């Protein structure tokens, strides 16, 4: 069964460092998303990506965040200068279509900023 894969599963980084979280969405999907879940809180939308550009972003997704799809298969989330409050589980998701379809999530990357 096709699945969304994310690497690494766990990333520890020092405050102020840059991190790149990687995702391989399901191959025939067209819409890509990043969500995050801070420990004990709900899953929150960060950004959506379609046709090689950001289609929507939340207020969380400030200038420190960026996304790209460098090679047509990988989908990455970069945090330029990490803060302690960026510590969370980051989930990549993809959808085949835009109307009434479910999003498939990866296993997540646990980011710990120290």
The residue ranges that bind another protein (CB under 8 A) are 4, 6, 31, 33, 35, 41-45, 48, 50, 55-56, 89, 91, 93, 95, 98-108, 110
- 111 in Cβ contact with 19 (< 8 Å): yes
Cβ(6)–Cβ(89) below 8 Å: no
Whichever of 15 and 98 has its CB closer to another protein, that residue is: 98
Q: Quick check: 54 and 35 in contact, CB under 8 A?
A: no
Which residue's CB is nearer to another protein, number 81 or number 112? 112
Nearer to another protein, 33 or 113 (CB): 33
Closest approach of Cβ 16 to another protein, in Å?
Answer: 26
Residue 37 burial (10 A CB sphere; 0-12, 13-18, 19+): middle
The CB-of-67 to another protein minimum distance in angstroms stands at 13
36/76 Cα distance (integer angstroms):
14
Report in angstroms how near the CB of residue 63 gets to another protein at its nearest.
Answer: 20
């Amino acid at each position: 069964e096709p699945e969304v894969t994310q690497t690494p599963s766990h990333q520890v980084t020092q405050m102020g460092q840059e991190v790149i979280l990687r995702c391989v969405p399901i191959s025939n999907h067209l819409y890509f998303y990043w969500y995050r879940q801070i420990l004990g809180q709900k899953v929150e939308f960060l950004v959506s990506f379609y046709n090689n550009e950001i289609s929507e972003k939340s207020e969380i997704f400030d200038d420190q965040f960026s996304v790209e799809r460098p090679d047509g298969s990988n989908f990455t989330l970069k945090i330029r200068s990490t803060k302690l409050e960026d510590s969370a589980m980051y989930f990549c998701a993809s959808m085949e279509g835009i109307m009434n379809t479910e999003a498939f999530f990866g296993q997540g990357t646990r980011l710990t900023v120290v």
